[in-house]
Amino acid sequence: MIKVYIVDDHSVVIEGIYSLLQHEKEIEVSGYALNGNNCLQYFTTNKADIILMDISLPDINGVDLCRVIKTTYPGIMVVALSTFNQGTYIRKMMENGASGYLLKNSNRQEIIDAIKTAYSGKTYLSFDAGKALTTNTDIQTNLPPLTKREKEVLAHIAEGLTNLEIAEKLFISVDTVDSHRKNLHSKLNVKNTAMLIRFAVENKLV
């Protein structure tokens, strides 16, 4: 029986994985945490074989959490969970001891494969993730498609222009620029300019 622990701040993800794995005979979900600290807390008194770990957590980022876990409990295999397919993050997780990288849109079989592969001590990478690593070209397939206008706006934000300046440059209203900005936020799953630009630069969107 492989004991799996889940760390993700989205309850639905935990719920989804739990449900996908509940009929799996060889796998048991032994617990979960909604943030990094609860996870660390848990492992002071409990154990597991595999941790499915979201890369973005409210308190600690996945890369750091992974490093802490692997140095403290080398026997636990960490599989990174991510919404997007970013070569940069994949590399960082791997450098910090992760045994695999799984996209949240993976199907049941992929998740099971990842868990079993990691359990056997090997590394599991989802198809696209592996490709992103070897080609050294971040796959944009798993990035939400941005429209032409969104890309333009993003480029201008990255240049340091304000919404007003962008509006003047594109001959549209500030409200429209704001709309595009909001769409970028929700598509890229960020909540402010700093995260937006970081994401954009790291993904060579700008």
| Closest to a second copy by CB, 168 or 175 | 168
Could you tell me the CA-to-CA distances from 62 to 139, 157, 170, 191 in Å, in that order? 20, 27, 38, 18
The stretch near DNA (CB under 7 A) out of 16-24, 27-35, 61-69, 145-153 is: 145-153
Report what 201 binds from DNA, a second copy, none; CB cut-off 5-8 Å by kind. a second copy
Backbone φ and ψ for 71, nearest 5 degrees, come out as -80, -35
Q: How many CB atoms lie within 10 A of CB 202?
A: 14
Residue where the block lists tokens 């490093």: 67
Among 61, 93, 98, 117, binds a second copy (CB under 8 A): 61
User: Most distant CA pair in the chain: distance in Å?
Assistant: 62
If one asks whether residue 169 binds DNA (CB under 7 A), the answer comes out as: no
- Contact residue for DNA among 115, 163, 203, 205 (CB under 7 A): 163
Which one, 56 or 126, has the nearer CB to a second copy?
Answer: 56
Of 48, 18, 14, nearest in space to 34 by CA: 14
Give dist(CA 80, CA 100) in Å, integer.
6
Q: Which of residues 81-100 bind a second copy (CB under 8 A)?
A: none
H or E element that contains 185: helix 174-188
Per the CB < 8 A criterion, the answer to whether 30 and 48 are in contact is: yes
Q: Which two tokens stand for residue 171?
A: 């001959």
Partner whose footprint covers residue 8, from DNA, a second copy, none (CB < 5 to 8 Å by kind): none
Closer to DNA by CB, 120 or 193: give it.
193
Q: Is 205 in the site for DNA (CB under 7 A)?
A: no
Q: How far apart are CA 77 and CA 161, in angstroms?
A: 44
Interaction between residue 178 and DNA (CB under 7 A): yes
| Binding residue for DNA, selected from 72, 173, 189, 204, defined by CB under 7 A | 173
Q: Taking CB under 7 A as the rule, does residue 170 contact DNA?
A: yes
Binding residues for DNA, rule: CB under 7 A, are 145, 147-150, 157, 161-164, 170, 172-173, 175-176, 178-182, 185, 191-194, 196
Binding residues for a second copy, rule: CB under 8 A, are 61, 157-160, 162, 190-198, 201-202, 206
